[in-house]
Chains A and B, each alone.
Chain A
Amino acid sequence: MKQKLINFFEATGLTWFVPIIRLVTGEEPKEQCTEIFKMLGYPAIALALFFMTWGYLSTKIKTSVGALPSPTYVWSQGEAMWATHNSETVRKSEAGELEKVRIKFNTLVTERRTLEENGKATEPVDKKLDKLLSETKEKAELYTPLVEKYATIKEKAEKEKAEEITAIREKFTKAGKFDLDDSGKPKIDVDGNPQLAEEALDEINYKQNFRVAVYEGNLVRVYKSIQGSYRSLINKVEKIEKYTQIARELASVSPSTGHDKKVASNNRKRQAFEKQIAKPNDYQGNGSIVDYIKLSIITVVFGFFLAAFVAIPLGIVCGLSPAIMTALNPLIQTFRPVSPLAWVLITIQVIDGIFVGDNALQGDILKNTFLHSGITVALCSLWATLSNTALGVSSVDQDHLNVAQVLKLNWFDRIFKIIIPSAIPYIFTGLRITLGVGWMVLIVSEMMATSRGLGWFIDQEYQNNKVESLANIMVCIFIIGIIGAILDRIMFTLQKLVSFSDEVSA
């Protein structure tokens, strides 16, 4: 067990876990502690220094939208993003519930229509509808306490924040830190109060920027809007019930002048509402950071496989035939250094030309914009795999070729049993670079292609032009970095598994 764990961490390159395991199993504690200190302590020191420098700089550097976000502020924005993700999840499940209720109503109403048209009794359906209506009414009212509960939390948090800001204001007022005019008197601000000095305003702004009770605040909005939707649904059903009732009354009285007209008009109104509840409500989520991350990862994986699919066969062909290599080399050398910004524009035009108008891709993931960014990733990242594969194939050990010759392997076996297997370590080295480049290229191509991944989100935030957005961008930078590192670890592990020697550069 212990050795297995150690082997696993060594294979994945997470070697800093090894001394911890050894320590836990009581193997030479002193040595392991030194080792842990080296492997965890040094990085911890570097991280601490990094955050200290960042924290210091954030008080000094002014950006065009305000002070540079501090580490704590960026962290709080990260939490806010997570809170938004959670409240969006709630919104999604509530919207799903609502849709189910609508479908139930619709089924019953349609059923009743059919029964009526066939001249059959409708009482059972009427009863069911009544029951469902009263249940739904109860359900809609259940949101009121929820809204109140979360609104109270939100208000309390906001109040605390306001108090803290007031405290800061008072602190500076007491200290007499005002913005003075030429005559030495404090300037007067728009509210008619003496204006505080800049450092005070900075501190107040800093405090002001922190968002509080984000999740609760979002929930208030979510529940209010869901409650509204329930009420509007109930309203429509009640209208249908009303017109159904009228229709029945009209049917029971003896026909008089204008009777037919009345029946027809009543029926039209009833049908209008029936149509309204028959219409499905597409859930239009706002998306959250988790959705962006998901799409980005799916896109990069798609681009990566596309690149591998093109580059590996082409690389093998180039490696096998010096003539083809010579022929393709100028093209490879020309296209390799081209920036993703240039590729993405061409990709957008080409894809939008192919999937145009009604043919435009409308899938959950498979959209035109997805192809724009995915193909750009592939175009920019395939070169590493291509040249590595070609190199691996062309530099097969002469000994291995001798073996093939002595065994008189045919062309097919020689390629598939000797040449390609021996090139596999090279191919995986190329693939690792490809994935790294692809992830880097992805962000910019998503920005340009407006594919709703991390790159798009960063761009949206940038357009917002607020300190808050700047902090959100910083959160994304960390997310991008961490995911990139994880992807590289995965490729590193694969590379290690397929290599014939134990040496793989970390």
Chain B
Amino acid sequence: MSKEEYILELNNVTRSFGEREEEVCVLENIDLKIKKGEFVAIVGFSGTGKSTLINLMGGLLPPSTGEVLCREKPVLGPSPDRGVIFQNYSLLPWLSVAGNVGLAVNQIYKDKSKKERKEIIEKYVDMVALSPAIDKKPKELSGGMRQRVSVARALSMDPEILLMDEPLSALDALTRSVLQDQILDIWKKTGKTIVLITNDVDEGLYMADRIIPLKIGPNATLGPSFKIDMARPRDRKNMNNDDKFKKLRAEVIKFLNNEKAKEKAANTSSESYPLPDIEPVTV
């Protein structure tokens, strides 16, 4: 595969919701090209359409205009090639860990025997280090463990691309860093393409090859792409002393802050209402 071939492409994609006058354009003119095996992070403030972007890539939502291509073919719906990991884990509460992973495995490996499928399930549960909890129900697991089940479920479909929608944002800082390393480890082992949506710039910088800020919506579009050419494995402890890292972080944060400032200015200029001249009545 030549370097110019992209596994996932978004060409001039626009997505709006609502009808006619109430139509709100969430994403506009999104152009994104992702190479095979690449780890791309998309960072932005909450409510800017990050999840919409993932849903477009995953095929859960069709674009209003423009096209989403996966290996040069238009994406018409969800497919097992593109595993999605949702922010709120989306585990089925009535199934055990094995059951949740099994739902995907049974769907993808329909022609394999029961025993083989069981082995596959065990393999992926083991990959996220949850073997001891394989028969537990989601409500008996901690947040981090639940997200690992979700990762195992997505991996078990053996997708080419993993789309992660803020997978770690609901977790505490310690669990978060452990899971970050686990995801990186899996990425290294499997060579999958990963798109990570996050609201944490440091997370993006630590994990990804490329970080792209998303501007503030409505009509949000992608900002410039920042390449993170730091050697792997990256050292979490010394990151903060790394000049390259500091410079990149400053740039990304500056970009995002500018966006925020622009939004504020726009809001105050157009939506400043005069306060009514009233006083409370005392009875």
Contacts and interface: CB of A to CB of B under 8 A. Distances in A.
B94 interface: yes
Contacts of A501: 139
Nearest to B150: A403
Interface in A393-418: 399-400, 402-403, 405-409, 413, 417-418
Contact of A406 (B60, B94, B95): B60
Interface stretch (B78-86, B118-126, B169-177, B240-248): B78-86
Central interface residue in B58, B88, B94, B103, by most chain A CB within 10 Å: B94
Contact of A500 (B60, B77, B90, B139): B139
Determine the main DSSP class of B at the interface with A: loop
Nearest to A501: B139
Interface string A381-403: 00000000000000000011011
A399 B85 CA distance: 11
A421 interface: yes
B88 A421 contact: no
A418 B91 CA distance: 11
Nearest to B87: A399
Contact of A402 (B77, B86, B95, B107): B86
A469 interface: no
B54 to A, nearest CB: 11
B107 A399 contact: no
A349 B82 CA distance: 62
Contacts of B60: 402, 405-406
B92 A406 contact: no
Contacts of A408: 77-80, 107
B157 interface: yes
B256 interface: no
A276 B104 CA distance: 75
Interface string B125-153: 00000000000000100000000000000
B91 to A, nearest CB: 8
Contacts of B139: 500-501
B93 interface: yes
Nearest to B95: A421
Give the size category of A's interface with B.
10 to 19
Interface in A219-248: none
A429 to B, nearest CB: 15
A365 interface: no
Contacts, number: 51
B78 A405 contact: yes
Interface string B88-109: 1010111100000001100100
A445 interface: no
A75 to B, nearest CB: 47
Contacts of A417: 103
A157 to B, nearest CB: 61
Given A407-B104, A408-B107, A422-B94, A399 B88 contact: yes
A345 interface: no
Contacts of A424: 94
Nearest to B79: A408
Contacts of B77: 405, 408
Nearest to B85: A406
B78 A421 contact: no
Contact of B90 (A402, A409, A413): A402
A500 B141 CA distance: 13
A406 B88 contact: no
Given A402-B84, A407-B104, A501-B139, A421 B79 contact: no
A400 B104 CA distance: 13
B103 A406 contact: no
A422 B103 CA distance: 15
Contacts of B78: 405-408
Determine the main DSSP class of A at the interface with B: helix
A399 B90 contact: yes
A402 B60 CA distance: 7
B157 A407 contact: yes
Contacts of A500: 93-94, 139
A349 to B, nearest CB: 44
Contact of B92 (A403, A405, A413, A498): A403
B86 A399 contact: yes
B107 A422 contact: no
Contacts of A399: 86, 88, 90
B94 A407 contact: no
A434 B277 CA distance: 57
Contact of B103 (A402, A405, A407, A498): A407
Contacts of A421: 92, 94-95
A417 to B, nearest CB: 7
A407 B92 contact: no
B90 A407 contact: no
A34 B92 CA distance: 41
A417 B58 CA distance: 22
A403 to B, nearest CB: 5
A498 B77 CA distance: 33
Given A402-B84, A407-B103, A407-B104, A418 B92 contact: yes
Interface in A268-292: none
Interface string A12-49: 00000000000000000000000000000000000000
Interface string A489-506: 000000000101100000
A409 B107 contact: yes
Contacts of B86: 399, 402-403
Nearest to B83: A406
B58 A406 contact: yes
B51 to A, nearest CB: 11
A99 B136 CA distance: 60
A407 B153 CA distance: 10
A405 B83 CA distance: 11
A403 B58 CA distance: 11
Central interface residue in B80, B82, B107, B157, by most chain A CB within 10 Å: B107
B198 to A, nearest CB: 19
Interface in A255-308: none
Nearest to B89: A399
A422 B79 contact: no
A413 B102 CA distance: 13
A421 B138 CA distance: 15
A25 to B, nearest CB: 26
A44 B216 CA distance: 64
Contacts of B84: 402, 406
15 contacts: A400-B90, A402-B86, A402-B90, A405-B77, A406-B60, A407-B78, A407-B103, A407-B157, A408-B77, A409-B103, A409-B107, A417-B103, A421-B95, A422-B93, A498-B94
Given A399-B86, A406-B84, A408-B107, 14 more contacts: A400-B92, A402-B86, A403-B90, A403-B103, A405-B77, A405-B78, A406-B78, A406-B82, A406-B83, A407-B104, A417-B103, A422-B92, A498-B94, A501-B139
What 9 A-B pairs have minimum CB-CB distances, sorted nearest first? A500-B93, A399-B90, A421-B94, A406-B78, A407-B107, A405-B78, A406-B84, A403-B90, A407-B104
